Amino acid sequence: MAAASVHAIEVEGLGVRFRRNRRGRRSFKDLFAGSKRRSRPGEFWALRDVSFTVAPGESIGVVGRNGQGKSTLLKLVASVLLQDEGSVTVNGGVAPLIEITGGFVGDLTVRENVRLTAGLHGMSRAEVNRRFDGIIEFAEIADFVDTPYKHLSNGMKVRLAFSVVSQLDEPVLLVDEVLAVGDKAFREKCYKRIDELLADGRTLFFVSHSERDLRRFCTRGLYLDKGKLVMDAPIAEVIDRYNADYPVN
């Protein structure tokens, strides 16, 4: 019997491509054509030949300019997207905070959305009932529990999304730039919660343009440029390399 993997995340030869001039990633015809076909005109590789592993409890910061594949990588790890080449293996579940509207239904109330979204992430009805008041309190939206989700402000949606996801017991936490939408006081509240999750041994996969946040939470960095992984090193070294490649004028 093969030994169990010691990695929380394993990425090997990962590649994914998009089309510039068509809505959607791939047609059903493309899916059945196989993953090794050549790129066609209008296609580009968002990520290509990306490989790395993440140990349980590591905190990884993904660095790079806009459009270099950072958010795409998170969506692949979260199984929101399907890769064209290579493999992604996550040993254990993920708690994804990668889109503020992901998993929420506009016409349902906040109460209904919390129960639905937490349930879809595998939380039992009893767990939802036990944690419901804490979720609402953390999100600071007690006065809007029976309000349709679509009527919330973007800031309220961010607070609710983070509050639900941070209550999940999944070992891997995926965080994109969405926290930048929240106000300063709530961001600090979220950061303290992330500190608690890291102290509890969770694995963090964190995309941010904030050097301060990357240095605060992450010990290791992955630097993506033109869809390639150009550096995998301690976070301070990765940030220094990125700043050298793209200095602020």
Residues 213 and 178: beta-carbon distance below 8 Å: no
Question: What is the C-alpha to C-alpha distance for residues 22 and 31, in angstroms, rounded to an integer?
Answer: 15
pLDDT, position 29? 46
Half-sphere exposure for 145 (CA within 13 Å, toward CB): 11
150 Cβ contact partners less than 8 Å away, ≥ 6 residues apart: 106, 107
Q: What is the pLDDT of residues 122-171, one digit of tens each?
A: 888 999 999 999 999 999 999 999 999 999 998 888 889 889 988 888 89
Percent of the chain having pLDDT more than 70? Answer: 85
Long-range contacts of 130-133 (CB under 8 A, 24+ apart): 131/167
Instruction: Report the predicted TM-score, pTM, of the whole model to 2 decimal places.
Output: 0.82
Nearest one of 62, 9, 27 to 242, comparing CA atoms: 62
Average pLDDT over residues 44-48: 92
Provide the token pair at 201: 């041994």
Nearest one of 49, 120, 110 to 83, comparing CA atoms: 49
Cα-flanking dihedrals φ and ψ of residue 205, to 5°? Answer: -120, 110
3-state secondary structure string across 133-175: HHHHHHHCCHHHCCCEHHHCCHHHHHHHHHHHHHCCCCCEEEE
Average pLDDT over residues 80-109: 86
User: Is residue 16 classed as helix, strand or coil in its secondary structure?
Assistant: strand
Highest-confidence segment of 3-12, 79-88, 168-177: 79-88
- The larger pLDDT score, comparing residue 50 to residue 159, is at 50
